[in-house]
Structure 1
Amino acid sequence: MTGHAAIRPMAPRDPHEPHRVATPLELLFDLVTVIAIAAAAAALHHAIAADHAADGIIGYAVTFFAIWWAWMNYTWFASAYDNDDAITRLLTMLIMGGALLLAAGIERFAAKLDFSLVVGGYAVMRLGMIAMWLRAAWNDPPRRAGALRYAGGIALAQLYWAGLYFSLPPQSPALLPLILLGWVIELSVPAIAERAAETPWHRHHIVERYGLLMIIVLGEVLLAATLALEKAWDGSFDMRLAHTALSALVIAFAMWWLYFAREPQLSSNRLSRSLQWGYGHLIVFASGAAVGAGFAVLVEILTGHARLSLRAGDLAVAVPLGIYLLSLWLVRDRFELHGAARWVLPLFAAAIVALPFAFPALEAIAALAVAAVAVRAWLAARDLREAAADA
């Protein structure tokens, strides 16, 4: 952006701007997001270790959706309109404050079904986005209709959440279906607004932003590996924990390799394709962070702090890892690969999830993850050579 005024018009960015990269403010926003993701993953790990997996998964889904949705909304907005003036910085910092408030409330929500801080933090984040979109509507007349739909849709969704919080007790059986309805309302806002006027988001910038959050998510797995190593040398050496740490490291590397493959993440700017890719990453990110929570559960089991079987611990790793592979197929491989390579991730996802039912073997799960990387890369390269030879 040009100019150094403290307050500038929120004009649209050039969607073809060269060398567009994440700004320091966006990286700071990611730092706040990682704190919220870590809190959600920790709550999931404690719930599974306490043999309350169903409650933990539901709570994790609710809180992770709020964290991811606020991050996603800000990221796509900033890709289209970030002018880095004082008002933008202050509104972004307000949204960050809401994210920290939400993160602070996750433990209370998991332990007592106390929604207050989660709802309050989410409301702060969404109010900040409403102000952002109103600024864009004022300064970008050609896209005003879309910007106003964003602002109005977010406001209506927030009124829905507030009404749900004040009218329904946490123990109500209707709560979960109404939360799912709220998700549908939230997810429909961009689809409706973009049909009025497509925002000028930058494809390379968006792909980079998602990749940066993926690295943050993988940090949860690496953190679990560090925890396993710390416990392995806690008084006496425990080889099982060392194996757990090594498996976590190998699986984290395999997850990274599969995500940052040579094929493009988002090769089309079409609205339907960008929505599928952007929304589908909810599963990618949530399952990736859940793998780290699964390894933390295994550490609890091996140190005698959780009364669960090793099979349960392996499943806590294998199930989210399988979902992670399947979600990468959902958002990328089914569009970008052809032939046998296209089906590698679904097949390996099924094998990884099924393995613990046959016998508990964490090292075998790690080996399957590595095999998925190798087989996919080999088949993709072969298909590419055959396509080049036929051309």
Structure 2
Amino acid sequence: MTDTPEVELVDEDELSVSPLELFFDLVFVFAIAQIAAFVRHDLTWSGVGKGVLLVVLVYWAWSLYTWGLNATGTSHVYVRLALLSAMGTILLMAVALPSAFTEDGWHFAAALVAFRLIGTGMYYLAAGEEQRAAFSSFFPLATLGAAVTLVGGFMDPSVRPWVWLGAIAVDVLATRAAERADWHVRPAHFAERYGLLVIIVLGELIVAIGVGLGDFEITTSLGVTLSIAFVVVAALWWSYFDRASGFLEETLRTRTGIERGRFARDAYTGAHLPLVIGIAMFAVALEEVVVHPDEHIEAIAAVLLAGGITLVIVSFLLAGYSATRQIPVERLTGAAVIIAITAIAWGSISSRTLLALHAVVLVTTLIVEYRRWSDDWQRRAA
């Protein structure tokens, strides 16, 4: 019997995101785009709920690879082959995604579970002995979660969402079971992976704008709508990459031992989930605004418009609280104002005006926050 081939783990300051990981993410974004398209074609509360469920399932599988690649890098041939194989399963999973809640739902479930199992095998095969010890605390429940996901794919479509919710609950328990393990998280690579994820889902917003346009004639009205939409997208980018991402990475770097792994789980894997859900759902509503800018927006689209931005803000609230045990007041206030505007005005103003109001609130929130952070830095420097 031969020994398990083992990868020489990379030092903390040497590991960076590789071109293969970027290639991997480009295939992954197709799955996110498919989820947004799924919700657009079933713009009901049931469709939204199913879309959110799909985001969680797909995101959870992606996160498994992020943790694994953070431990191994992609220099070893076994890792590269596993990652390329996983990309094939992502493609199959994304193609099967529209039928996830039909009689053919097992196609999606089987591809998703295969994707997860490849990631699990890659991690175990390539990681060092210490990382395997940490992974052993996560593996049993994570495998059970994958099994429940697969079983759900073969069950009646009416009960399938509940089975998959159960699978997600098992996956959450797996992360709790592993919290006492010493996960060797490399801060720069880990933060960069999640930053790239944010860029990918923000890119889906740009795609949503382009898809919504179709063969529309270019007019002043269209130009105004596009400008407002881009302001919102740019503000969402700014809200993450101006200071928040750097602050989170620095906090991750200062944590050591078990605490670093817990912070990575809470501030990145956990807190970034509502961000991905929010942007994916916001993309659906944004297309509705671009297509019908002068009409009153439907209630469900109005909820996705405000709820998408709010979930992005909630993501930062969770991440910030994990780092400082304090709630960023500006963002909490901004989220509350956006929700209030939607509740009061959505049925009496055009969708473009509603989007413009959200843009004003979001930009104002970031300006106030920026000034407070600048004042704090000046006081520290003094």
Query: TM-score, normalising length from structure 1?
Result: 0.84
Q: Are 1:96 and 2:87 matched, yes or no?
A: yes
Deviations 1:186-228 (A, max 9, x none): 12324423524x2322111111111111011111211233345
Superposition deviation, residue 312 in structure 1? 5.1
Quick one: which of 28, 42, 45 aligns to 1:47?
42
2:202–2:279 contact (8 Å) kept in structure 1:
yes
Quick one: which of 359, 371, 374 aligns to 2:367?
374
1:301–1:313 contact (8 Å) kept in structure 2:
no
2:266–2:319 contact (8 Å) kept in structure 1:
yes
Q: Are 1:350 and 2:336 matched, yes or no?
A: yes
CA distance in 1, matches of 2:380, 2:103: 55
Aligned in 2, Cα 1:96/1:74: closer, same or farther, shift over 3 Å? same
User: After the TM superposition, which residues 1-391 of structure 1 pair with which residues of structure 2 at under 5 Å, given as runs?
Assistant: 9-14=6-11, 16-18=12-14, 20-48=15-43, 52=44, 54-109=45-100, 112=102, 114-136=104-126, 140-166=128-154, 168-172=155-159, 175-196=160-181, 198-233=182-217, 237-263=218-244, 264-266=247-249, 267-268=251-252, 269=255, 270=259, 271-277=261-267, 278-302=269-293, 309=297, 313-332=301-320, 335-336=323-324, 342-359=328-345, 360=349, 361=353, 362-389=355-382
1:311–1:357 contact (8 Å) kept in structure 2:
no
Aligned in 2, Cα 1:293/1:212: closer, same or farther, shift over 3 Å? same
Superposition deviation, residue 156 in structure 1? 2.3
Structure 1 vs Structure 2 CA RMSD: 2.6
1:311–1:356 contact (8 Å) kept in structure 2:
no
Deviations 1:298-356 (A, max 9, x none): 2344599xxx7466544432221122112211112673596xx9211111011112213
Residue type matched to 1:252 in 2? V
SS in 1 for 2:180: helix
Aligned in 2, Cα 1:98/1:129: closer, same or farther, shift over 3 Å? same
Aligned in 2, Cα 1:113/1:322: closer, same or farther, shift over 3 Å? farther
Greater mean alpha carbon deviation, residues 202-211 or residues 148-157: 148-157
1:220–1:293 contact (8 Å) kept in structure 2:
no
Aligned in 2, Cα 1:185/1:315: closer, same or farther, shift over 3 Å? closer
Q: 1:3 is matched with which residue? A: none
CA distance in 2, matches of 1:230, 1:375: 37
Aligned in 2, Cα 1:113/1:323: closer, same or farther, shift over 3 Å? farther
Aligned in 2, Cα 1:231/1:383: closer, same or farther, shift over 3 Å? farther
1:217–1:289 contact (8 Å) kept in structure 2:
yes
Q: How many residues align?
A: 362
1:12–1:200 contact (8 Å) kept in structure 2:
no
Residue type matched to 2:144 in 1? L
2:209–2:290 contact (8 Å) kept in structure 1:
no
Residue type matched to 2:142 in 1? I
Aligned in 2, Cα 1:383/1:65: closer, same or farther, shift over 3 Å? same
Superposition deviation, residue 178 in structure 1? 3.2
Aligned in 2, Cα 1:283/1:332: closer, same or farther, shift over 3 Å? same
Residue type matched to 2:13 in 1? E
List alignment gaps of at least 5 residues for structure 2: none
1:283–1:324 contact (8 Å) kept in structure 2:
yes
CA distance in 1, matches of 2:103, 2:55: 15
2:148–2:164 contact (8 Å) kept in structure 1:
no
Residue type matched to 2:171 in 1? E
2:92–2:111 contact (8 Å) kept in structure 1:
yes
Percent same amino acid among aligned pairs? 25
CA distance in 1, matches of 2:104, 2:294: 30
Residue type matched to 1:247 in 2? I
Greater mean alpha carbon deviation, residues 272-281 or residues 351-360: 351-360
Query: TM-score, normalising length from structure 2?
Result: 0.86
CA distance in 2, matches of 1:158, 1:246: 43
SS in 2 for 1:195: coil
CA distance in 2, matches of 1:82, 1:261: 27
Superposition deviation, residue 125 in structure 1? 0.5
What stretches of structure 1 move > 6 A for 4+ residues in a row?
Answer: none
CA distance in 1, matches of 2:153, 2:335: 37
CA distance in 2, matches of 1:337, 1:262: 17
CA distance in 2, matches of 1:337, 1:247: 34
1:226–1:245 contact (8 Å) kept in structure 2:
no
CA distance in 1, matches of 2:179, 2:304: 38
